[in-house]
Structure 1
Amino acid sequence: MKEKIDIQRIIDSPSESGGVYFIGIGGIGMSNLARYFHAKGVPVSGYDKTPTELTKELEQSGIKIHYEENVDLAPKNPDLVVFTPAVPKDHAELVFYQENGFLVVKRSDVLGAITRESFNICIAGTHGKTTITTMIGHILRHTGYGCNAFLGGISVNYGTNFWSSENNVCVVEADEYDRSFLKLSPDIAVITSMDADHLDIYGDEASLQQTFVEFGNRVKEGGLLVGKFGLSKLKEVTVRNKISYSLQNGSADVFASDIQIQNGGYKYNVLWNGGGLNDVELRIGGMHNVENSVAAMAIANYLKIDGEKIKEAVKAFKGVKRRFEYIIAPEVHQEGAYRYPVFIDDYAHHPEELKALLKSARSLFPQRKITVIFQPHLYTRTRDFAEGFARSLSLADEVVLLPIYPARELPIEGVNSEMILADIDIEHKSIVKKEDVVSWMEQYVKTLNKEFGEVIITAGAGDIDTLVQPLKKIIEQA
């Protein structure tokens, strides 16, 4: 049994390498590592349970993927087997490799090995991390600074969750699930939030928060910790250099001011000690994304990137797929009536994320009816946060709930979407099976208010994204 992941040997001798095999290659974090090795010329292949748009893209790039759990279809002698914790422990291929002396490791081990010798900017938090990671990666790429980016979402600007650079700087989404981020060595760390989540792993909120403190303490000597203002646990992080960021709280070290809403986006100033940037333009929706940009710009400033270049990069930022993504953007007829509803798709799968999503939609479109179609993700998360989901969803005017998406979990008796529905404090609420949502939308669009316009939102971390294009088509034909 080999003990060390010799990333450089695999990259330096791709013709001799047995390649890297990914079990669960369609995961957003797994796929960026697959793209990393593929870009280095290393043979890459993988398994996933079902085909998705992401796996199709990987296959089109030349990566071989199969969708049947079958040892005979898997490579015979890979140098490295990478698996995600979402894969069942009794998965036939995983068990085969583990029992036959192959080097079998988690995704987090590989990411830790890849970034061992680089300057690392690692972004962690129970929400907000994907957008901030993508913003930082985009700013560094757009300004010419350069970085290797390992993202937890698909950048709309570049259509990928990975890119490389000759500059030995890595921008990495630091995942708290399974304590994966404790294998990273940040030069700059960002902590966006520590809200209770993944209680199936941590047991309670206190344990989760303590692990974030451990992550913060992994910042290298002389490095920087950037933390969301108000996170009291950050006081326990012993890193010497710390700065805080906030949306508009002037007590933070970096914050936004004079925020104006403009055409579904924002214009504002960003202030920090000794200076700042005026008239920053962000052309994506969501007030929380203004706050995310504050953290990203603070890091760009710390890296001494020119302020005007930072502003140009932020203005050009198109967001992350499924993070307040405009599927149908705001548009008005010459007559003044709205052409279509605004259609937003979002990955929100935690009560706090849903609250931020719906509050942002309400602030951008205060006169419009807001309808959200939400798919709960995981039985354990639904069990732990049913009341919180209900409170957040009550911010909408109408709610359609799908059944729970189980992902890696087996059903838990008594845990279902009805738990959430019962506590939603609005009149118009219902549960619709996923396969019936398209026909539900066909009826719904007949009632649309085209004078004031409406906002339709799909949200969730399961497979609700497969409904986005069919629903878009129905709305545009209304």
Structure 2
Amino acid sequence: MNKTAVYFVGIGGIGMSGLAQYFLAQGHAVAGYDRTLTPLTEKLVTLGATVTDSEDVTAIPPLFRDAAQTKVIYTPAIPAHSPLLDFFRTGEFVLQKRAEIIGEISATMPCLAVAGTHGKTTTTSLLTHLLRASGKKITAFLGGIAQNIGSNFLHEGQDVLVVEADEFDRSFMHLSPTTIALTSMDADHLDIYGSSDELAKTFSAFAAKVSSEKRFIRHGLAVDGNTFGLDVGTHRVVNLRTQEGCYIFDFQTPETTITNLKLPYPGHHNLMNASAALALALEANCNPESLREALATFMGVDRRFSVRMTSPKVLIDDYAHHPTEINAVVDAIETFYPNKIKLGVFQPHLFSRTRDFEKGFKKALARFDEVILLDIYPARELPIVGITSHILIEKLHPNTALISKEELYQKVANSTAEVVAIMGAGDIAFEVSAIMQTLKNQAHE
């Protein structure tokens, strides 16, 4: 890239902040805007970036107003009418979507790409951990904070690039992968694709970027290639059992079997994620013994079934924002906290997703003994007439309440639930600390 300065419109997102770290590591001047300042933006500032929450064009530093010096990177989550985008578009700046830039980077080194409507972040984070433990010098762009590295970005070398292949806005079609894993193809982002069939076609088109020998597909999906699964597929988990809160299993491939693997991370969906990561790591010529040792030390991803406290209640923080993901949270609770009273606190994400999966959300939430709903987090969307969180209140589930954030802390504290799951992809994550403090205060009364 010939430009010396890079300006990010939407710099605080999990994907954009990782890319900003990449350009900082390359020695570029970096600045950007985000409507909310968070620990991610604070980290960027400590690394040398200039970050503002003002959309006023006067907040753009002088260097970044020079079209000859500055490349502008933006996320499709930014509204099209953004005054910042209008300023850059009329000023002859070079504008590119984040997906285009990641695509350019993916062409510079071997690229392991993980696609799927669920499981991408955990699989890529685990794969990053496995590759590092095997001595690979890698670059990784992750969709969450991987606990083993404390970051959503890693830049240690160019042996391998690990990247989430994001289906939103067909972003993954910009990638140049050498090997892929496909974890799921559940309907999602129907505001972009229009139908589940169109989404499936696009996943198939992405898979076609590599030969079938370089594809690792969850068993049962309608895409040719190697397959992974539980007791099925070319790459399979076998001899599964639980021991002291961990999964113990063997991993069997056409070439080898790794015995007595230990996964200290709950949920059968995470066994599937582990299968995909192990398959890709073996394809990258990692030593099976190093993989056994590394898997046992995987610490997970922030907000992916993160247990924040165990007393006076078990409090779980999770990014779940789709019915399938909520069901996975409940499955994990029922496995590791059986027969406990369960409270689900859910902030729906996007009006369109709430509308498109209303029935699925109702069915998944009904698995909790109690449900608390917050208003829909709009993200990039404008309201849709008639679509509010109220439509998710299931009349057959009497223990459901739609409340404000101000009421949330005491409502959780007063619940009889023994296990509480805080779920959503919006700003509900920022409420977890206050909930924890309320519970601790109540315990000391």
TM over 0.5: yes
Shift in alpha-carbon separation, 1:63–1:389, aligned structure 2, 3 A: same
In the alignment, the residues of structure 1 paired with residue 436 and residue 117 of structure 2 have an alpha-carbon distance, to the nearest angstrom, of 29
Q: What amino acid maps onto 1:226 in structure 2?
A: F
Partner of 2:338: 366
Once structures 1 and 2 are overlaid, which stretch shifts more, 46-55 or 273-282? Answer: 273-282
Number of residue-to-residue matches in the alignment: 437
Does 2:443 match 1:460?
Answer: no
C-alpha deviation, 1:166, in angstroms: 2.3
How far residue 223 of structure 1 moved from its aligned partner, in angstroms, is: 5.9
CA–CA distance in structure 1, aligned partners of residues 134 and 369 of structure 2: 42
Aligned CA distance change for structure 1 residues 167 and 117 (closer, same or farther; 3 Å): closer
CA deviation string 1:62-107 (max 9, x = no partner): 2110101011111212421000001111111111111111101100
Q: Does 1:441 align with 2:427?
A: no
Offset of 1:476 from its aligned partner? Answer: 3.1
Contact 2:308–2:317 (Cα < 8 Å) also in 1: yes
Measure how far apart 1:291 and its partner are. Answer: 1.4
Structure 2 residue aligned with 1:13: none
Q: Which residue is 1:402 aligned to? A: 374
- Extract structure 1 runs of 4+ deviating beyond 4 A: none
Q: 1:23 aligned to 2:6?
A: no
Q: Answer with 376-385 or 72-81: which moved more.
A: 72-81
Instruction: Return the offset for 1:325.
Output: 1.2
Asked if the contact 1:442/1:474 (under 8 Å) is kept, the reply is: yes
Deviations 1:2-46 (A, max 9, x none): xxxxx2x34xxxxxx2x1000000111101100000111111111
User: 2:238, 2:250 within 8 Å by CA — same for their partners in 1?
Assistant: yes
Deviation at 1:222, TM superposition (A): 8.2
Aligned counterpart in structure 1 of residue 287 of structure 2, from 306, 313, 334: 306
Tell me what 2:355 maps to: 383
8 Å contact from structure 1 (residues 359, 395) kept in 2? no
RMSD: 1.5
Paired position in structure 1 for 2:136? 145
- 1:211-232 residue CA offsets vs partner (Å, 9 max, x unmatched): 001100112x586011110012
Q: Which residue matches 2:189?
A: 198
- Looking at structure 2, the residues matched to 458 and 286 of structure 1 have their Cα atoms a distance apart, in angstroms, of 16
3-state SS in 2 of match to 1:230: coil
Kindly indicate whether residue 407 of structure 2 is the aligned counterpart of residue 426 of structure 1: no
1:319-330 correspondence runs (5 A): 319-328=300-309
1:158-217 Cα shifts (integer Å, max 9, x gaps): 111111122331000011000000000110011111111111111111111100011001
Tell me if the contact between 1:83 and 1:107 (Cα under 8 Å) persists in the aligned partners: yes
CA distance in 1, matches of 2:245, 2:423: 19
- Give 2:114's aligned residue: 123
Please list every run of 5 or more consecutive structure 2 residues that lacks an aligned counterpart in the other structure. none
Distance 1:87 1:34 in 2: 16
Identity score, percent: 39
Equivalence map 1:207-286=2 (5 Å) = 207-219=198-210, 224-232=214-222, 234-235=223-224, 242-246=225-229, 248-250=230-232, 252-286=233-267
1:350 paired residue number? 322
Aligned twin of 2:278: 297
What residue identity is the alignment partner of 2:219? F
2:40 is the alignment partner of 1:54: yes
Name the residue aligned to 2:65.
76
Q: SS in structure 1 opposite 2:394?
A: helix
Paired residue type of 2:157: E
What is aligned with 1:154? 145
Three-state SS of the structure 1 residue aligned to 2:429 is helix
What TM-score do the two structures reach when normalised by structure 1? 0.88
State which of 65, 69, 80 in structure 2 corresponds to 1:89: 80
How much does 1:280 deviate?
0.9
Could you tell me how far apart the structure 1 residues matched to 2:246 and 2:369 are?
Answer: 22
Determine helix, strand or coil for the equivalent of 1:295. Answer: helix
Q: Is the 8 A contact 1:124 1:173 kept in 2?
A: yes
SS of equivalent to 1:437? helix
CA distance in 1, matches of 2:208, 2:116: 15
Letter aligned with residue 245 of structure 2: G
Residues 126 and 192 in structure 1, CA contact (< 8 A), matched pair in contact too: yes
1:422 partner SS:
coil
Q: Tell me the distance in 2 between the aligned counterparts of 1:95 and 1:321.
A: 35
The amino acid across from 2:113 in the alignment is C
Shift of 1:283: 1.2
Match of 2:170 among 166, 169, 179: 179
Q: CA deviation at 1:303?
A: 1.8
Q: Extract unaligned runs of 5+ from structure 1.
A: 1-6, 11-16, 236-241, 330-338, 449-453
State whether residues 181 and 280 of structure 2, in contact with CA within 8 Å, keep that contact through their aligned partners in structure 1.
Answer: no
Which amino acid letter does the alignment assign opposite residue 364 of structure 1?
Answer: F
Matching residue's letter, 2:170:
R
Note the alpha carbon deviations across 1:378-406, whole angstroms, 9 max, x for none.
00000000110011111111111111111
